[in-house]
Structure 1
Amino acid sequence: MAEKITEFALLKDEFWWGGAIHDGIRMPYGTIDVEHDLSNLLENSGAPFLISNRGRYIWQNRPFRFEFRSGKLSIGCEEEVNLHEGHVTLSEAFHEAAGKYFPAIGRMPDPLAITAPQYCTWMEMHYEPTQQKTLDYAREIIRQGFPPGVLIIDDNWMEDYGTWKFNPSRFPDPKSMVDKLHDLGFKVMLWVCPYVSPDSRTGRSLGKQGFLVQDEKGKTALRRWWNGCSAVLDYTHPEAWTWFKETLDGLVEQYGIDGFKFDAGDPAGDPNSEWATGFQWKGTDIPNEDCAAYSRLGLHYPLSEYRASWKMGGAPLMQRLRDKPHSWGKDGIRMLIPNSIAQGLVGFAFNCPDMVGGGWDGDLGGNAFDPELFVRYAQCAALFPMMQFSTAPWKALDERMASYCLEAVKLRESLGAELLSLADEAGRKGTPILRAMEFVFPGRGFESIKDQFMVGDEILVAPVLVKGAASRQIIFPEGEWVGDDGSRVVGPVNLRVEAPLSRLPWYRREIRSV
């Protein structure tokens, strides 16, 4: 089917969000010329959805191209494009679109993922996780005063890619390990990916059954990824999908595993990406639907984390932002809020910023490591729907700096009941937990604010995102706001507040009884 171009004139002061989440740093769209093709999700999540502060939205069933230029929105798609109108605000348009196209499933992830941090072993252990290291790490978390939370055992716990069995030389008694972690108060997730070592016994068996993706010649296709070249499980094939699920279910039943970090799964359709292949999926020929099929695996577990997913709005999945460098720039900490706002507005309410402590090899080594950035990153993440550490603060920082990270975690604990209430609402209605200022206070000119956010409708959070800053400007809407430092601010007002390294500025809107 040939692509058709449909154009819409932008309304006065109209701004848009949606599409590829990693492009959130450029949102809201409408002020500068922008174009993007949603067959490329930029190694993160996304949806075929655009939504505006003027109550309009566009939903398509498949990826489309879009362009904002000269006061117009152009959509290139093989389907007929429908512009939904008739609403006044961003919130009203969101709730109608969610109800029609990505309704909430009716549940949230395990509450521990909301109230406590997640601790990933990646930067602590890299490709060398062991049973003893994992138990020692969990005990040290508690000894340092941090609460037990979700512990994610990352890459190389298994025998091989595609052979999802504990490596006995590293994990001699995994059931005992998981039981001890549960006794300490942790929930346990395992890292998995859809890649299969092609010359392994598992790879040969899956190939014979037709469960691996094939190329144009009908041979097993190989995908180059960050750990080499692997075959790919065809999770669009119902029997292959069932094989993977039953394999994961076996880990749950045998060892008591609580969930999985579903890594990779990036769509294979982008012709400009390093992921490009001649993949022939058995279950679909629509771009990105392979990613959607992979995402649906996570619906069967109380804890499922994804970096790459497609069209999973309303689902109780932990949606993590793409790995970022240890940076103060637009590629690092300044991305967290706008990208997370975008996640919420496409229905990914249970969103998690990138890991505190970095996710890239070498990030925390040498002169590149900035303790101040580590602390500000932890503060920024503290009141997101979820918070995840990849590096132990007490190892990377001095005692004073590490104490600021602990304070951020304790703040999260203190607001745990409110976060759970918002997560419950998100599970039932799909409403974002982390909200744009425009979502809560429409029509006040807050559309382009992306360095502060709302948690629900009552808590305003304004992290410091600039190196060396000990104060920052905050825009307060109407009402009386009570700060974490006991100060009171009457809005609307644009005010500079003190924010030393020890402080994450946040304010609660005081509701006066009549």
Structure 2
Amino acid sequence: MTTLALALAAALPATLTAPHPAQAQPQSPARAPAPPAPRLTHTADDLTLTVPPSRAAPGYRLRMTTGQLSFTTLRSATTVLATAPGDTGALRFRTDGTWQHATRVTDWTWKRGVLTLTADTTAPGATVQARVTPAADRYRLDWQVTGVTPERLGLAYDLASAGHWYGHGEAQTPDGGPATDQPWPLDSGEVVHPAFGPASYYMIDPFWYTSRATGLRVDTGQVMDVSINQDDDGLGRFDIESAEPYRATVFVESTPLDVYRDYVDLVGKPAKSDATYRQYAEPVWNSWAQFYTHVDQAKLLDYAQDLHDHGITGHALQLDDKWESNYGNMTFDPKAYPDPKAMSDTIHDLGFDFGLWVTLWINLDSDQYGYAADHGYLLKDAADPAKPCTVTWWNGTAGIVDLGNPEAKSWYEGRLKTLMNAYGVDGLKFDTRFFDERCAPHEGYRPTDYQRLGAELADEYDLQGVGIRVHWDTAAHRAGFVTRQVDKGTGWNSLRASVTQNLAISTIGYPFVTTDMIGGSSSQPAPTKEVLVRWAQSAALMPLMYASTSPVDTIDPRSGKPVVYDEETAALYRQAIARHERLAPYIWAQVQQTLKTGDPIMRPLFFDFPKDQDAYTIGDEWMLGPAVLAAPQLADAPTRSVHLPPGTWYDVAGKKTVRGGRTLTSYPTPLGTTPVFVKLGAKGSAEALRALR
């Protein structure tokens, strides 16, 4: 039988081959009917897979041109995702430093629900083989190159075909992202992220979704090179630095929230919340932005006392970087910390838990490096496995404890627990990464496994509401960690980026989000009063508050001179903390709901209002659960516009009920005012009203 005949036979309606009714087995009344089967049609120019609508999915068509292979996804006759046109090519690969792409389809078969395609390419002697596997709300696209060994494989899309793009996580951009820039939507700026991979320090996942309710998940453990609208080219390029087959899933749904839920079904929703109720209700205070590495016992105790005396509450106080005698020693520097146990006791007496910053990185000048290296406790060098892998970081050159080696993990944890027991340490802030691409994984492990190993390690300790930066692996999704952002600057641009970045992180499957330390933490000049207060007001309307810069006084890291804030600063900061604490019962109810559904707590307006087209480009407002709309002032301005989706809303600051489906222009925002609205009738609205009034 010819290829065409086989395809037509496979595409015949199911009724032609179904058993006679008298021979069929009776269906159970409780069993849902099977979804309609996909069917294939073809012309001289294209192949079209049609997936009919079902009770749970809208259905779609996938049209593939055969003159030059391309993929166009349609829902209700409207294009919702299309690959890049012309010389860019849909299925692309690089060989000998030159990009090539698939061209004419030379053969295809449709068998047992799988469409297999073979295509020529622009590279002599190279062909592409692709498999499309349709399902009710998605299709798998797996493909590879034969005839040559490619350096990279890539998919390219026409961004405009899908509307606006979201997801990705913390994005590298030419404008300073992710520290000071996080475009929302992604296509409104430029994303140029060449080392997008599982060992990255950035919180990222290979998942993107669109305003037209499509989504892309790339299933890989390799480093990717991702660019979205680079040089305003209107393209999304998702390249893998590997010759391994490219595996992707394209979701086709009715709303972006449905796409998100499909993705979470794949990677897993949180099994628990790592943070406790108190950690949601009160901020954690961390020494980093207050002192950076210029910290010692006396300064830390003065910091704690100042917060206590000014009524600025918190559940924990963490000593961040620069307490060790050398990085990896896991012993206090005796000059800076003459009595660590007394320091810990005093912090406890002031009502705080005590926490420490820790890392698996051991500097070469640490007195533990030689011991760890001699015992094989460090990751090996990828190029020369006979020696430990050494990596340069912001505190020197180090080796990394190999969590894939059970003896190394036991040694590390034993030292950690001895330290905690000796000094009354209640919790930890794990920092840096658990793996580096320059290293070789332990025998039997892959690089991606180190996200799981890191998650399993951290899960044994109280992370005190600052969480941990693990991603990409399903264990990271299911662990339920709080996710803290990468360090931010101290200006308005970083405050705005902290909001859109939380929206990005929470909608790739990490729902328990917090911004970077309130006021920023990347060694820029100390935040102004206005930035510090506005950041606290913004964070008060998020799941958790992560604090460092004291609203009483701080130290400018550039000049080393003290910065003293006025009493209004401390008073407004206290108000923000009090508002967040009053919201804690409502927030905690959202945490429980997330554990059931996986839905993010802090989310873009269009997750709740998908028909509101204006909502898709708003990056300075968000929903906190189904009832609270937050629209804090994120700029140095006396007013702001507030978009209200359809419905009836209570304006908390204005103390009145307002109609939605419109934009309130020039809403007044003096420093003591934070616009926030409650959707009347929404689940939890009564609880939210009690808290916010």
Q: Which amino acid aligns with 1:165?
A: T
Instruction: Verify the 8 A CA contact 1:60 1:79 in the aligned structure 2.
Output: no
- How many Å separate the matches in 1 of 2:228 and 2:672? 41
**C-alpha offsets along residues 456-490 of structure 1, whole Å, 9 cap, x if unaligned?**
111011111221x1110000011121122213221
Match of 2:542 among 384, 390, 396: 384
Which stretch shows the higher mean deviation, 492-501 or 126-135? 126-135
Instruction: Verify the 8 A CA contact 1:108 1:424 in the aligned structure 2.
Output: no
- How many Å separate the matches in 2 of 1:213 and 1:108? 28
SS of equivalent to 1:211: coil
- How many Å separate the matches in 1 of 2:278 and 2:682? 32
Q: Say whether residues 1:233 and 2:401 are aligned partners.
A: yes
Structure 2 CA distance for partners of 1:34 and 1:491, relative to 1, 3 Å: same
How many residues align structurally?
498
Higher RCO (CA 8 Å, separation ≥ 6 residues): 1
Match of 2:168 in 1: 19
**C-alpha offsets along residues 172-209 of structure 1, whole Å, 9 cap, x if unaligned?**
55445445534543222210122213233311110101
Q: Say whether residues 1:264 and 2:432 are aligned partners.
A: yes
Q: Could you tell me which runs of 5 or more consecutive residues in structure 2 were left unpaired when the two chains were aligned.
A: 1-148, 173-177, 554-563, 684-693
Match of 2:153 in 1: 4
Instruction: Verify the 8 A CA contact 1:334 1:451 in the aligned structure 2.
Output: yes
Q: Which amino acid aligns with 1:359?
A: S
Match of 1:325 in 2: 489
**C-alpha offsets along residues 75-100 of structure 1, whole Å, 9 cap, x if unaligned?**
33344333343421122222222122
Match of 2:606 among 433, 438, 447: 438
Match of 1:140 among 300, 306, 324: 306
Deviation, structure 1 residue 71: 6.7
Structure 2 CA distance for partners of 1:82 and 1:358, relative to 1, 3 Å: closer
Structure 2 CA distance for partners of 1:152 and 1:284, relative to 1, 3 Å: farther
Deviation, structure 1 residue 415: 0.7
Match of 1:471 among 624, 635, 639: 639
Which stretch shows the higher mean deviation, 355-364 or 109-118? 355-364
Match of 1:56 in 2: 215
Q: Which amino acid aligns with 2:537?
A: Q
- How many Å separate the matches in 2 of 1:55 and 1:317? 27
Q: Which amino acid aligns with 1:18?
A: G
Which stretch shows the higher mean deviation, 33-42 or 484-493? 33-42
- How many Å separate the matches in 1 of 2:594 and 2:507? 12
Q: Which amino acid aligns with 2:373?
A: G
Match of 1:357 in 2: 519
- How many Å separate the matches in 2 of 1:430 and 1:255? 37
**C-alpha offsets along residues 80-138 of structure 1, whole Å, 9 cap, x if unaligned?**
33334342112222222212213312233122221111111123343354445434433
Structure 2 CA distance for partners of 1:39 and 1:237, relative to 1, 3 Å: same
Instruction: Verify the 8 A CA contact 1:20 1:42 in the aligned structure 2.
Output: no
Match of 2:477 in 1: 313
Which stretch shows the higher mean deviation, 216-225 or 472-481? 216-225
Structure 2 CA distance for partners of 1:148 and 1:325, relative to 1, 3 Å: closer
Instruction: Verify the 8 A CA contact 1:314 1:349 in the aligned structure 2.
Output: no
Instruction: Verify the 8 A CA contact 1:237 1:281 in the aligned structure 2.
Output: no
Matches within 5 A, 1:265-284: 265=433, 268-269=436-437, 278-282=438-442
- How many Å separate the matches in 1 of 2:412 and 2:167? 31
Match of 2:657 in 1: 488
Match of 1:75 among 214, 225, 238: 238
Match of 1:400 in 2: 568
SS of equivalent to 1:282: coil
Match of 2:128 in 1: none
Instruction: Verify the 8 A CA contact 2:199 2:436 in the aligned structure 1.
Output: no
Of the two, which has the highest radius of gyration? Answer: 2
Match of 1:409 among 558, 577, 580: 577
Instruction: Verify the 8 A CA contact 1:138 1:148 in the aligned structure 2.
Output: no
Instruction: Verify the 8 A CA contact 2:170 2:203 in the aligned structure 1.
Output: yes
Instruction: Verify the 8 A CA contact 1:307 1:322 in the aligned structure 2.
Output: no
Structure 2 CA distance for partners of 1:179 and 1:347, relative to 1, 3 Å: farther
Q: Could you tell me which runs of 5 or more consecutive residues in structure 1 were left unpaired when the two chains were aligned.
A: 270-277
Instruction: Verify the 8 A CA contact 2:488 2:522 in the aligned structure 1.
Output: yes
Instruction: Verify the 8 A CA contact 2:490 2:524 in the aligned structure 1.
Output: no
Deviation, structure 1 residue 41: 8.0
**C-alpha offsets along residues 208-255 of structure 1, whole Å, 9 cap, x if unaligned?**
011123333333333222222223223343432333233333344444
Match of 2:460 among 296, 300, 309: 300
- How many Å separate the matches in 2 of 1:424 and 1:100? 20
SS of equivalent to 2:647: strand
Which stretch shows the higher mean deviation, 34-43 or 84-93? 34-43
SS of equivalent to 2:378: coil
- How many Å separate the matches in 2 of 1:157 and 1:507? 44
Instruction: Verify the 8 A CA contact 2:317 2:354 in the aligned structure 1.
Output: yes
- How many Å separate the matches in 2 of 1:359 and 1:173? 27
Structure 2 CA distance for partners of 1:421 and 1:401, relative to 1, 3 Å: same
What TM-score, normalized to structure 1? 0.87
Deviation, structure 1 residue 372: 1.6
Which stretch shows the higher mean deviation, 146-155 or 58-67? 58-67
Structure 2 CA distance for partners of 1:283 and 1:407, relative to 1, 3 Å: farther
Matches within 5 A, 1:358-373: 358-364=520-526, 369-373=527-531
Quick check: which one's strand share is greater? 2
- How many Å separate the matches in 2 of 1:344 and 1:461? 16
SS of equivalent to 2:640: strand
What TM-score, normalized to structure 2? 0.66
